[in-house]
Amino acid sequence: MAPAAAPAPCRRALPLCALLSLLLRFSSGNTRVMTAVNITWSSINFKTLLQWEPEPTNYVYTVEIDGNLSNRDKTCIHTTKTECDVTNMLENVRDTYTARIYSESPSEEDDYNIPPYGLSSPFKPYDQTEIGMPAIKYFEQKDKTLKIMIADPLTPYRSENGSFQTIRDIFKDDLKYTVYYWKDQSTGKKFVTERSNQFELSVDNGKSYCFYVQATVTTGSGSRNSPKSTEKCTSINREGLDGLDLDTILIIVAIATGVVLLIIILAVVVYKCTKARAAAKKKENIPPNL
């Protein structure tokens, strides 16, 4: 015997109850997650960050890195941020990596085995990391020779002795430096490119020179240049100060100021003494009856 049909008012109430239940589930924030989009790699001297959108509401992200030559591994687990430092996951800089960014609900009632995720574009650190600005470690102009030493930028990775590797340790002969130089107050530039970080340039004796440096790395993906270094000059008026730190310069200024004040004080004392002696001598020359 078939069960009796529900009364009409109850049948009308069932869809309303289901809709109310659905709205309550969404309002709790436990069933709605957004998939990560606009995933980008940002890397300078092998310091690498992953960034994405949107900011999570009532859910979290977990980042998984997968290399062609390495196993998958997770980092930034259950983070509410939209940025993750993945530098330590990419130590094989010649490998190519992809990132999965999982959107995970804190609810235990999720009905999926694998959380939804956004997939990044491939990234190969050796071919794609940007080169940071090089720094001038030392320079000296003597007679007809301008010597320049460049400090190779450091990377986050350490060598076997525990020191940080430089970009030269990794890129080796793929790294070159170009020095652009010119006579001070002149517009005509010359340049020299070397695989070394030390330069000896032939210049005119007695002429001051200015210069800056730029690094270039050439790999399978092409060439990429670093930003230009700060400009340095060897002019006589600036040459000495360029090699001094701020504390030394302040000491020199303080000593110079003290010397100037001492000269002024001595001049005032001498002037007053001279004036006093002149007044005394004038008084001696006045007749007693006056």
pTM beyond 0.85: the answer is: no
Tell me the per-residue pLDDT of 230-258, one tens digit each, with 9 for 90 and over: 999 997 544 444 545 566 667 888 898 98
- Asked whether the predicted pLDDT for residue 24 surpasses 60, the reply is no
Q: For residue 167, count other CB atoms closer than 10 A to its CB.
A: 22
Length of the chain, in residues: 290
- Asked whether the predicted pLDDT for residue 28 surpasses 50, the reply is no
Provide the percentage of residues in the chain whose pLDDT is more than 70. 79
Find the range with the poorest average confidence among 4-8, 251-255, 257-261.
Answer: 4-8
Tell me the per-residue pLDDT of 162-186, one tens digit each, with 9 for 90 and over: 999 999 999 999 999 999 999 988 8
Predicted pLDDT of residue 25: 40
Comparing 284 with 201, the larger pLDDT belongs to: 201
Q: What are phi and psi of 228, to 5 degrees?
A: -70, 145
Comparing 162 with 30, the larger pLDDT belongs to: 162
Predicted pLDDT of residue 11: 46
How many whole angstroms separate alpha carbon 135 and alpha carbon 150?
Answer: 6
Average pLDDT over residues 110-128: 87
pLDDT range class, residue 125, cuts 50, 70, 90:
very high
Dihedral sign from CA coordinates of 272, 278, 284, 286: negative
- The answer to whether 176 and 215 are in contact (CB under 8 A) is yes
Predicted pLDDT of residue 288: 54
- Which residue, 273, 178, 171, 267, is CA-closest to 226? 178
Comparing 95 with 262, the larger pLDDT belongs to: 95
Q: Using a CB cutoff of 8 Å and minimum separation of 24, what contacts does 135-139 make?
A: 135/229, 135/230, 136/213, 136/229, 136/230, 136/232, 139/211, 139/232, 139/234, 139/242
Task: List, edge to edge, every strand of the sheet that includes 47-53.
Answer: 37-44, 47-53, 83-85
Find the range with the poorest average confidence among 113-122, 140-149, 281-290.
Answer: 281-290
Alpha helices in 50-162 (DSSP H): 125-128
What is the Cα 234 distance to its own chain's centre?
Answer: 27
Mean pLDDT, the chain, whole residue set? 84
Task: Give the strand pairing for 232-233 and 145-151.
Answer: unpaired
Residue type, 195: R
Residue type, 129: T
- Asked whether the predicted pLDDT for residue 76 surpasses 70, the reply is yes
Tell me the per-residue pLDDT of 50-75, one tens digit each, with 9 for 90 and over: 999 999 999 999 999 999 998 899 99
pLDDT range class, residue 210, cuts 50, 70, 90:
very high
How many whole angstroms separate alpha carbon 171 and alpha carbon 165?
Answer: 11
